Structure 1
Amino acid sequence: LGDLMEGRPHPRAVHRRRETITALPLYHCGSLLKKNLKEKDFRNFYGELRGTTLFLYKNDTQDTYSERLDLGLIKSMDMESPSTIFTLSLPLEEVQLKMDNADTGEEWRGFIMTLVNKEIPSDIQMLPGQKIKLEEMLTLENKRNPQLERPALPPRPGFLQTKDTPDMPACFFDVTRQEAEKLLSENPENGDIILRPSTMPKNYALTLRQKIDRGHVLKNYRVTSTSAGFVIELETPMTVRSLNDVLKYFLEKTEYRLRPYIVAQPYDTRIEDPDMDDHMKKLSKRGEFA
Protein backbone atom coordinates (compact mmCIF):
# COMPACT_ATOMS: atom_id res chain seq x y z
CA LEU A 1 0.00 0.00 0.00
CA GLY A 2 2.86 2.37 0.88
CA ASP A 3 4.50 1.78 -2.51
CA LEU A 4 1.25 2.55 -4.33
CA MET A 5 0.69 5.75 -2.35
CA GLU A 6 4.21 6.93 -3.12
CA GLY A 7 3.80 6.05 -6.79
CA ARG A 8 6.44 3.29 -6.66
CA PRO A 9 5.84 0.09 -8.69
CA HIS A 10 5.17 -3.09 -6.73
CA PRO A 11 8.26 -5.39 -6.49
CA ARG A 12 6.37 -8.22 -8.22
CA ALA A 13 5.71 -5.95 -11.20
CA VAL A 14 9.40 -5.06 -11.34
CA HIS A 15 10.40 -8.74 -11.21
CA ARG A 16 8.07 -9.48 -14.13
CA ARG A 17 9.56 -6.65 -16.19
CA ARG A 18 13.05 -7.94 -15.51
CA GLU A 19 11.97 -11.37 -16.71
CA THR A 20 11.45 -9.83 -20.15
CA ILE A 21 15.18 -8.98 -20.16
CA THR A 22 16.48 -12.38 -19.05
CA ALA A 23 14.91 -15.83 -19.03
CA LEU A 24 17.01 -16.93 -16.06
CA PRO A 25 14.91 -18.17 -13.12
CA LEU A 26 14.78 -15.98 -10.00
CA TYR A 27 16.07 -17.90 -6.96
CA HIS A 28 16.67 -15.23 -4.32
CA CYS A 29 16.66 -11.46 -3.96
CA GLY A 30 17.22 -8.74 -1.39
CA SER A 31 19.22 -5.69 -0.41
CA LEU A 32 22.98 -5.95 -0.01
CA LEU A 33 26.17 -3.92 -0.22
CA LYS A 34 29.03 -4.56 -2.61
CA LYS A 35 32.54 -3.28 -3.31
CA ASN A 36 35.73 -4.38 -5.03
CA LEU A 37 38.68 -5.04 -2.74
CA LYS A 38 40.38 -1.97 -4.21
CA GLU A 39 37.43 0.24 -3.26
CA LYS A 40 37.22 1.88 0.15
CA ASP A 41 33.45 2.01 0.73
CA PHE A 42 30.56 -0.36 0.09
CA ARG A 43 27.75 0.67 -2.26
CA ASN A 44 24.07 -0.17 -1.82
CA PHE A 45 22.44 -2.54 -4.30
CA TYR A 46 19.36 -4.65 -4.71
CA GLY A 47 20.46 -8.13 -5.76
CA GLU A 48 18.63 -10.75 -7.79
CA LEU A 49 20.10 -14.24 -8.00
CA ARG A 50 18.95 -15.58 -11.37
CA GLY A 51 20.49 -18.88 -12.41
CA THR A 52 24.16 -18.66 -11.44
CA THR A 53 24.28 -14.91 -12.10
CA LEU A 54 23.86 -12.22 -9.44
CA PHE A 55 22.31 -9.12 -11.00
CA LEU A 56 22.86 -5.90 -9.04
CA TYR A 57 20.40 -3.00 -9.31
CA LYS A 58 20.70 0.48 -7.81
CA ASN A 59 17.34 -0.10 -6.12
CA ASP A 60 14.39 -2.51 -6.20
CA THR A 61 12.54 -0.48 -8.87
CA GLN A 62 15.32 -0.27 -11.48
CA ASP A 63 14.47 -2.21 -14.66
CA THR A 64 18.03 -2.79 -15.93
CA TYR A 65 20.92 -3.99 -13.81
CA SER A 66 24.00 -1.89 -13.07
CA GLU A 67 26.42 -4.77 -12.53
CA ARG A 68 26.44 -8.56 -12.68
CA LEU A 69 28.55 -11.31 -11.15
CA ASP A 70 28.88 -14.75 -12.74
CA LEU A 71 28.92 -17.01 -9.69
CA GLY A 72 29.58 -20.05 -11.87
CA LEU A 73 33.16 -18.77 -12.22
CA ILE A 74 33.88 -18.40 -8.49
CA LYS A 75 37.33 -19.68 -7.52
CA SER A 76 36.79 -19.30 -3.78
CA MET A 77 34.41 -17.75 -1.25
CA ASP A 78 35.61 -16.62 2.17
CA MET A 79 33.39 -15.44 5.01
CA GLU A 80 34.01 -13.26 8.01
CA SER A 81 32.49 -14.25 11.35
CA PRO A 82 29.66 -13.55 11.86
CA SER A 83 28.84 -14.29 8.24
CA THR A 84 27.82 -10.81 7.11
CA ILE A 85 30.71 -10.15 4.69
CA PHE A 86 31.65 -12.51 1.85
CA THR A 87 34.79 -12.23 -0.26
CA LEU A 88 34.30 -13.73 -3.72
CA SER A 89 37.34 -14.53 -5.85
CA LEU A 90 36.42 -14.32 -9.54
CA PRO A 91 38.68 -14.71 -12.61
CA LEU A 92 39.12 -10.97 -13.15
CA GLU A 93 38.38 -9.45 -9.75
CA GLU A 94 37.76 -9.98 -6.07
CA VAL A 95 34.59 -8.50 -4.62
CA GLN A 96 32.99 -8.29 -1.20
CA LEU A 97 29.28 -8.58 -0.45
CA LYS A 98 27.95 -7.29 2.87
CA MET A 99 24.59 -8.19 4.43
CA ASP A 100 22.51 -6.38 7.07
CA ASN A 101 22.75 -9.14 9.66
CA ALA A 102 23.99 -12.70 10.21
CA ASP A 103 20.61 -14.29 9.38
CA THR A 104 20.44 -12.53 6.00
CA GLY A 105 24.07 -13.41 5.40
CA GLU A 106 23.47 -17.08 6.17
CA GLU A 107 20.55 -17.13 3.73
CA TRP A 108 22.62 -15.61 0.92
CA ARG A 109 25.48 -17.99 1.74
CA GLY A 110 23.12 -20.96 1.44
CA PHE A 111 21.92 -19.95 -2.02
CA ILE A 112 25.37 -19.05 -3.36
CA MET A 113 27.17 -22.12 -2.00
CA THR A 114 24.40 -24.45 -3.19
CA LEU A 115 24.66 -23.05 -6.70
CA VAL A 116 28.45 -23.15 -6.81
CA ASN A 117 28.93 -26.63 -5.29
CA LYS A 118 25.72 -28.19 -6.64
CA GLU A 119 24.82 -29.35 -3.13
CA ILE A 120 23.32 -27.84 0.02
CA PRO A 121 26.03 -27.00 2.60
CA SER A 122 25.93 -29.49 5.49
CA ASP A 123 26.59 -26.76 8.06
CA ILE A 124 23.90 -24.36 6.84
CA GLN A 125 21.70 -22.86 9.57
CA MET A 126 18.39 -22.04 7.93
CA LEU A 127 14.74 -22.62 8.68
CA PRO A 128 13.05 -25.71 7.18
CA GLY A 129 11.11 -23.58 4.70
CA GLN A 130 14.30 -21.92 3.51
CA LYS A 131 16.01 -25.29 3.05
CA ILE A 132 13.07 -26.43 0.94
CA LYS A 133 13.69 -23.43 -1.34
CA LEU A 134 17.33 -24.51 -1.66
CA GLU A 135 16.25 -28.03 -2.63
CA GLU A 136 13.80 -26.67 -5.21
CA MET A 137 16.48 -24.37 -6.63
CA LEU A 138 19.01 -27.19 -6.86
CA THR A 139 16.55 -29.46 -8.65
CA LEU A 140 15.62 -26.75 -11.15
CA GLU A 141 19.23 -25.71 -11.72
CA ASN A 142 20.35 -29.32 -12.37
CA LYS A 143 17.58 -29.70 -14.95
CA ARG A 144 18.32 -26.32 -16.51
CA ASN A 145 22.07 -26.75 -16.64
CA PRO A 146 23.29 -30.32 -16.02
CA GLN A 147 26.57 -30.51 -14.13
CA LEU A 148 29.57 -31.68 -16.07
CA GLU A 149 31.12 -34.72 -14.43
CA ARG A 150 34.80 -34.54 -13.61
CA PRO A 151 36.70 -37.44 -15.17
CA ALA A 152 38.28 -39.88 -12.75
CA LEU A 153 41.89 -39.16 -11.86
CA PRO A 154 44.64 -41.51 -13.07
CA PRO A 155 46.52 -43.28 -10.26
CA ARG A 156 49.61 -41.58 -8.87
CA PRO A 157 51.96 -44.66 -8.77
CA GLY A 158 53.92 -44.87 -11.99
CA PHE A 159 52.00 -41.91 -13.44
CA LEU A 160 49.81 -44.28 -15.43
CA GLN A 161 46.75 -43.08 -17.30
CA THR A 162 43.50 -44.99 -16.92
CA LYS A 163 41.79 -46.66 -19.86
CA ASP A 164 38.36 -45.69 -18.50
CA THR A 165 38.70 -41.96 -19.23
CA PRO A 166 39.05 -41.54 -23.01
CA ASP A 167 38.27 -37.80 -22.75
CA MET A 168 41.22 -37.18 -20.42
CA PRO A 169 44.33 -35.88 -22.22
CA ALA A 170 47.30 -38.25 -22.18
CA CYS A 171 49.38 -35.54 -20.48
CA PHE A 172 47.18 -35.52 -17.37
CA PHE A 173 48.96 -36.64 -14.19
CA ASP A 174 47.81 -36.63 -10.59
CA VAL A 175 50.73 -34.53 -9.37
CA THR A 176 51.26 -31.29 -7.47
CA ARG A 177 52.61 -28.07 -8.98
CA GLN A 178 56.08 -28.82 -7.61
CA GLU A 179 56.02 -32.38 -8.96
CA ALA A 180 54.86 -31.20 -12.39
CA GLU A 181 57.60 -28.57 -12.59
CA LYS A 182 60.19 -31.16 -11.56
CA LEU A 183 59.01 -33.63 -14.22
CA LEU A 184 59.17 -30.98 -16.95
CA SER A 185 62.60 -29.73 -15.83
CA GLU A 186 64.23 -33.13 -15.44
CA ASN A 187 62.65 -34.89 -18.46
CA PRO A 188 62.36 -32.30 -21.28
CA GLU A 189 62.48 -35.10 -23.86
CA ASN A 190 59.01 -36.25 -22.70
CA GLY A 191 57.26 -32.97 -23.52
CA ASP A 192 56.46 -29.49 -22.25
CA ILE A 193 52.82 -29.50 -20.97
CA ILE A 194 51.29 -31.26 -17.97
CA LEU A 195 47.62 -31.05 -17.01
CA ARG A 196 47.02 -31.73 -13.34
CA PRO A 197 44.47 -31.32 -10.51
CA SER A 198 44.22 -27.91 -8.88
CA THR A 199 44.24 -27.29 -5.16
CA MET A 200 40.61 -26.13 -5.56
CA PRO A 201 38.08 -29.01 -5.63
CA LYS A 202 36.78 -29.95 -9.11
CA ASN A 203 39.26 -27.61 -10.81
CA TYR A 204 42.45 -28.19 -12.80
CA ALA A 205 45.75 -26.51 -13.59
CA LEU A 206 48.15 -26.59 -16.51
CA THR A 207 51.93 -26.44 -16.05
CA LEU A 208 54.21 -25.80 -19.02
CA ARG A 209 57.91 -25.33 -19.71
CA GLN A 210 58.57 -22.72 -22.37
CA LYS A 211 61.80 -21.69 -24.06
CA ILE A 212 62.83 -18.03 -23.84
CA ASP A 213 65.97 -16.09 -24.79
CA ARG A 214 67.53 -16.65 -21.37
CA GLY A 215 66.74 -20.38 -21.25
CA HIS A 216 63.45 -21.86 -20.05
CA VAL A 217 60.60 -20.64 -17.86
CA LEU A 218 57.93 -22.62 -15.98
CA LYS A 219 54.38 -21.30 -16.00
CA ASN A 220 51.14 -22.41 -14.30
CA TYR A 221 47.59 -21.64 -15.42
CA ARG A 222 44.31 -22.23 -13.61
CA VAL A 223 41.48 -24.08 -15.37
CA THR A 224 38.08 -23.75 -13.68
CA SER A 225 35.36 -26.35 -14.21
CA THR A 226 31.93 -24.72 -14.58
CA SER A 227 28.50 -25.72 -15.80
CA ALA A 228 29.33 -24.03 -19.12
CA GLY A 229 32.60 -25.89 -19.65
CA PHE A 230 36.21 -25.27 -18.65
CA VAL A 231 37.40 -21.69 -18.19
CA ILE A 232 41.08 -21.00 -18.90
CA GLU A 233 41.76 -18.08 -16.58
CA LEU A 234 43.79 -15.70 -18.72
CA GLU A 235 43.60 -11.89 -18.84
CA THR A 236 40.67 -12.52 -21.16
CA PRO A 237 39.13 -15.79 -19.88
CA MET A 238 38.59 -18.47 -22.51
CA THR A 239 35.83 -21.08 -22.14
CA VAL A 240 36.14 -24.43 -23.92
CA ARG A 241 34.07 -27.60 -23.81
CA SER A 242 36.55 -30.22 -22.62
CA LEU A 243 39.99 -30.74 -21.11
CA ASN A 244 41.23 -31.92 -24.51
CA ASP A 245 40.13 -28.54 -25.85
CA VAL A 246 42.12 -26.87 -23.06
CA LEU A 247 45.24 -28.67 -24.29
CA LYS A 248 44.41 -27.88 -27.92
CA TYR A 249 44.04 -24.17 -27.07
CA PHE A 250 47.54 -23.99 -25.57
CA LEU A 251 49.06 -25.94 -28.45
CA GLU A 252 47.48 -23.60 -30.99
CA LYS A 253 48.45 -20.45 -29.09
CA THR A 254 52.09 -21.59 -28.94
CA GLU A 255 51.98 -22.59 -32.62
CA TYR A 256 52.67 -26.21 -31.64
CA ARG A 257 56.15 -25.36 -30.36
CA LEU A 258 55.22 -27.20 -27.15
CA ARG A 259 54.36 -30.89 -26.81
CA PRO A 260 52.12 -32.71 -24.31
CA TYR A 261 54.19 -34.48 -21.65
CA ILE A 262 53.95 -38.24 -22.27
CA VAL A 263 56.14 -40.79 -20.52
CA ALA A 264 57.78 -43.06 -23.05
CA GLN A 265 57.28 -46.74 -22.21
CA PRO A 266 60.28 -49.09 -22.63
CA TYR A 267 60.21 -51.70 -25.38
CA ASP A 268 62.18 -54.96 -25.66
CA THR A 269 64.54 -55.39 -28.59
CA ARG A 270 65.36 -59.12 -28.26
CA ILE A 271 63.26 -62.27 -28.29
CA GLU A 272 64.56 -64.68 -25.68
CA ASP A 273 64.23 -68.49 -25.83
CA PRO A 274 64.16 -69.87 -22.24
CA ASP A 275 65.07 -73.39 -23.43
CA MET A 276 68.07 -72.09 -25.35
CA ASP A 277 69.24 -70.11 -22.29
CA ASP A 278 69.18 -73.27 -20.15
CA HIS A 279 71.11 -75.15 -22.81
CA MET A 280 73.81 -72.47 -22.98
CA LYS A 281 74.17 -72.50 -19.18
CA LYS A 282 74.73 -76.27 -19.17
CA LEU A 283 77.39 -76.00 -21.88
CA SER A 284 79.12 -73.26 -19.91
CA LYS A 285 79.25 -75.38 -16.75
CA ARG A 286 80.77 -78.34 -18.69
CA GLY A 287 83.38 -76.08 -20.22
CA GLU A 288 82.10 -76.70 -23.74
CA PHE A 289 81.31 -73.03 -24.27
CA ALA A 290 83.83 -70.28 -23.78
Structure 2
Amino acid sequence: QDYQRVWAGLRGLKLAFYMLPQDQEPLEVLDLGELVTVQAEGRALVLRLRGQEVTMKVESWETQEMWRGFILTMTKMRMPRDLALLPGHNVQLLEALRQERERRGTPVSPASPVVPSCFFEVTRPEAELLLELSAGRGNLLLRPGGHGQGLSVTIRQEIDGRALLRHYKVKKEPQGYVIVMETPHRCSSLADVVQFFVRTSRGSLQPLDPDYSTQL
Protein backbone atom coordinates (compact mmCIF):
# COMPACT_ATOMS: atom_id res chain seq x y z
CA GLN A 1 0.00 0.00 0.00
CA ASP A 2 1.31 3.45 -0.96
CA TYR A 3 1.33 6.25 1.61
CA GLN A 4 1.60 10.00 1.17
CA ARG A 5 3.89 11.86 3.57
CA VAL A 6 1.91 14.64 5.26
CA TRP A 7 1.92 16.71 8.44
CA ALA A 8 -0.93 16.37 10.91
CA GLY A 9 -2.42 18.69 13.50
CA LEU A 10 -5.10 18.02 16.10
CA ARG A 11 -7.37 20.66 17.59
CA GLY A 12 -10.29 19.38 19.57
CA LEU A 13 -12.18 16.93 17.39
CA LYS A 14 -10.61 18.13 14.12
CA LEU A 15 -7.64 16.15 12.77
CA ALA A 16 -6.15 18.06 9.84
CA PHE A 17 -3.51 16.92 7.33
CA TYR A 18 -1.14 19.34 5.57
CA MET A 19 1.33 18.98 2.70
CA LEU A 20 3.89 21.14 4.55
CA PRO A 21 4.09 22.22 8.22
CA GLN A 22 3.75 25.91 7.30
CA ASP A 23 0.62 25.41 5.16
CA GLN A 24 -2.53 27.19 6.28
CA GLU A 25 -5.03 25.20 4.19
CA PRO A 26 -5.31 21.49 5.02
CA LEU A 27 -5.47 18.73 2.44
CA GLU A 28 -8.15 16.98 4.46
CA VAL A 29 -9.88 17.33 7.82
CA LEU A 30 -11.29 14.40 9.76
CA ASP A 31 -14.14 14.87 12.22
CA LEU A 32 -13.20 12.72 15.21
CA GLY A 33 -16.73 13.10 16.48
CA GLU A 34 -17.43 10.30 13.99
CA LEU A 35 -14.67 8.08 15.42
CA VAL A 36 -15.67 4.51 16.26
CA THR A 37 -12.28 3.02 17.18
CA VAL A 38 -8.56 3.78 16.92
CA GLN A 39 -6.18 0.84 17.03
CA ALA A 40 -2.44 0.33 16.72
CA GLU A 41 -1.62 -2.22 14.04
CA GLY A 42 2.11 -2.70 13.62
CA ARG A 43 3.66 0.69 12.85
CA ALA A 44 0.31 2.19 11.89
CA LEU A 45 -2.74 3.68 13.56
CA VAL A 46 -6.05 2.65 12.07
CA LEU A 47 -8.86 5.16 12.60
CA ARG A 48 -12.29 3.74 11.93
CA LEU A 49 -14.91 6.43 11.52
CA ARG A 50 -18.52 6.12 10.50
CA GLY A 51 -18.32 5.41 6.77
CA GLN A 52 -14.54 5.85 6.54
CA GLU A 53 -11.29 4.16 7.54
CA VAL A 54 -7.95 5.99 7.65
CA THR A 55 -4.52 4.44 8.23
CA MET A 56 -1.72 6.62 9.60
CA LYS A 57 1.87 5.39 9.54
CA VAL A 58 4.27 7.06 11.98
CA GLU A 59 8.03 7.11 12.43
CA SER A 60 8.26 5.43 15.82
CA TRP A 61 6.30 3.47 18.37
CA GLU A 62 6.48 6.41 20.82
CA THR A 63 4.94 8.75 18.23
CA GLN A 64 2.23 6.21 17.49
CA GLU A 65 1.33 5.93 21.17
CA MET A 66 1.29 9.73 21.56
CA TRP A 67 -1.12 10.12 18.63
CA ARG A 68 -3.34 7.35 19.97
CA GLY A 69 -3.35 9.05 23.37
CA PHE A 70 -4.20 12.50 22.03
CA ILE A 71 -6.95 11.20 19.73
CA LEU A 72 -8.62 9.17 22.48
CA THR A 73 -8.24 11.97 25.03
CA MET A 74 -9.91 14.53 22.75
CA THR A 75 -12.75 12.21 21.72
CA LYS A 76 -13.54 10.83 25.17
CA MET A 77 -12.52 13.97 27.14
CA ARG A 78 -10.60 11.82 29.57
CA MET A 79 -7.17 10.24 29.56
CA PRO A 80 -7.00 6.53 28.61
CA ARG A 81 -5.63 4.21 31.28
CA ASP A 82 -3.80 1.86 28.92
CA LEU A 83 -1.21 4.29 27.52
CA ALA A 84 2.48 3.40 27.73
CA LEU A 85 4.01 6.88 27.83
CA LEU A 86 6.73 8.68 29.76
CA PRO A 87 5.56 10.86 32.69
CA GLY A 88 6.32 14.04 30.75
CA HIS A 89 4.08 12.91 27.89
CA ASN A 90 1.28 12.15 30.34
CA VAL A 91 1.54 15.68 31.70
CA GLN A 92 1.30 17.02 28.12
CA LEU A 93 -1.87 15.02 27.58
CA LEU A 94 -3.45 16.28 30.79
CA GLU A 95 -2.55 19.86 29.91
CA ALA A 96 -4.10 19.42 26.45
CA LEU A 97 -7.21 18.01 28.11
CA ARG A 98 -7.40 20.99 30.47
CA GLN A 99 -7.10 23.45 27.57
CA GLU A 100 -9.75 21.61 25.56
CA ARG A 101 -12.16 21.66 28.49
CA GLU A 102 -11.67 25.41 28.74
CA ARG A 103 -12.11 25.84 24.97
CA ARG A 104 -15.36 23.89 25.03
CA GLY A 105 -16.57 25.87 27.98
CA THR A 106 -16.60 22.92 30.36
CA PRO A 107 -16.86 24.36 33.87
CA VAL A 108 -13.67 24.09 35.86
CA SER A 109 -13.15 24.81 39.51
CA PRO A 110 -11.70 28.17 40.45
CA ALA A 111 -8.26 27.93 42.01
CA SER A 112 -6.50 30.25 44.37
CA PRO A 113 -4.60 33.08 42.62
CA VAL A 114 -1.38 31.65 44.06
CA VAL A 115 -0.99 27.88 43.98
CA PRO A 116 2.03 25.58 44.23
CA SER A 117 3.25 24.20 40.94
CA CYS A 118 2.08 20.71 41.97
CA PHE A 119 -1.48 21.87 41.23
CA PHE A 120 -3.02 20.05 38.25
CA GLU A 121 -6.38 20.77 36.64
CA VAL A 122 -7.44 17.11 36.70
CA THR A 123 -10.32 15.04 38.01
CA ARG A 124 -9.97 12.50 40.81
CA PRO A 125 -9.53 9.49 38.46
CA GLU A 126 -7.06 11.47 36.32
CA ALA A 127 -5.07 12.41 39.43
CA GLU A 128 -4.83 8.76 40.45
CA LEU A 129 -3.68 7.81 36.96
CA LEU A 130 -1.13 10.61 36.75
CA LEU A 131 0.46 9.61 40.06
CA GLU A 132 0.52 5.96 38.99
CA LEU A 133 2.23 6.79 35.70
CA SER A 134 4.65 9.21 37.37
CA ALA A 135 5.97 6.85 40.03
CA GLY A 136 9.32 8.02 41.34
CA ARG A 137 8.70 11.65 40.34
CA GLY A 138 6.37 12.58 43.17
CA ASN A 139 3.37 11.06 44.91
CA LEU A 140 1.28 14.06 45.96
CA LEU A 141 -0.65 16.65 43.98
CA LEU A 142 -3.26 19.36 44.42
CA ARG A 143 -6.35 19.41 42.21
CA PRO A 144 -9.83 20.94 42.02
CA GLY A 145 -12.30 19.45 44.49
CA GLY A 146 -15.26 17.35 43.43
CA HIS A 147 -18.40 19.08 42.14
CA GLY A 148 -16.48 22.33 41.77
CA GLN A 149 -16.07 22.69 45.53
CA GLY A 150 -12.71 23.90 46.87
CA LEU A 151 -9.55 21.88 46.35
CA SER A 152 -8.34 18.37 47.11
CA VAL A 153 -5.04 16.65 47.81
CA THR A 154 -4.42 13.25 46.22
CA ILE A 155 -1.58 11.05 47.45
CA ARG A 156 -0.34 7.65 46.32
CA GLN A 157 1.97 5.42 48.37
CA GLU A 158 3.37 1.95 47.77
CA ILE A 159 3.04 -0.16 50.93
CA ASP A 160 4.07 -3.83 50.86
CA GLY A 161 3.80 -3.83 47.09
CA ARG A 162 0.29 -2.41 47.07
CA ALA A 163 -0.81 1.06 46.03
CA LEU A 164 -2.60 3.09 48.69
CA LEU A 165 -4.55 6.11 47.43
CA ARG A 166 -5.96 8.82 49.67
CA HIS A 167 -7.87 12.02 48.96
CA TYR A 168 -8.26 14.97 51.33
CA LYS A 169 -10.58 17.93 50.94
CA VAL A 170 -9.10 21.39 51.39
CA LYS A 171 -11.56 24.17 52.26
CA LYS A 172 -10.95 27.90 51.89
CA GLU A 173 -11.45 29.99 55.00
CA PRO A 174 -11.11 33.73 55.61
CA GLN A 175 -7.73 33.22 57.28
CA GLY A 176 -6.39 30.51 54.99
CA TYR A 177 -7.25 26.86 54.40
CA VAL A 178 -8.32 23.85 56.43
CA ILE A 179 -7.49 20.23 55.57
CA VAL A 180 -10.56 18.10 56.29
CA MET A 181 -9.43 15.07 58.29
CA GLU A 182 -10.17 13.42 61.64
CA THR A 183 -8.39 16.31 63.32
CA PRO A 184 -8.77 19.27 60.92
CA HIS A 185 -5.52 21.12 60.25
CA ARG A 186 -5.43 24.82 59.37
CA CYS A 187 -2.84 26.30 57.02
CA SER A 188 -2.09 29.87 56.02
CA SER A 189 -1.56 29.04 52.33
CA LEU A 190 -1.75 26.21 49.81
CA ALA A 191 2.03 25.92 49.99
CA ASP A 192 1.59 25.22 53.71
CA VAL A 193 -0.97 22.54 52.82
CA VAL A 194 1.64 20.77 50.69
CA GLN A 195 4.31 21.21 53.37
CA PHE A 196 2.00 19.71 56.00
CA PHE A 197 1.84 16.40 54.12
CA VAL A 198 5.57 16.42 53.35
CA ARG A 199 6.43 17.16 56.98
CA THR A 200 4.02 14.73 58.66
CA SER A 201 5.09 11.91 56.31
CA ARG A 202 8.75 12.65 57.16
CA GLY A 203 9.49 13.21 53.51
CA SER A 204 7.93 10.03 52.14
CA LEU A 205 5.36 12.21 50.39
CA GLN A 206 6.76 14.55 47.74
CA PRO A 207 4.84 16.86 45.38
CA LEU A 208 4.58 15.90 41.73
CA ASP A 209 6.71 18.69 40.33
CA PRO A 210 10.41 18.50 39.37
CA ASP A 211 10.89 22.18 40.20
CA TYR A 212 9.18 22.07 43.58
CA SER A 213 11.05 23.94 46.33
CA THR A 214 10.67 23.18 50.04
CA GLN A 215 10.94 26.94 50.59
CA LEU A 216 7.44 27.52 49.18
Q: Which has the higher strand share?
A: 2
If asked which structure has higher relative contact order (CA below 8 Å, sep 6+), I would say: 2
- The TM-score bracket by the shorter chain reads 0.3 to 0.5
TM-score (norm 1): 0.35
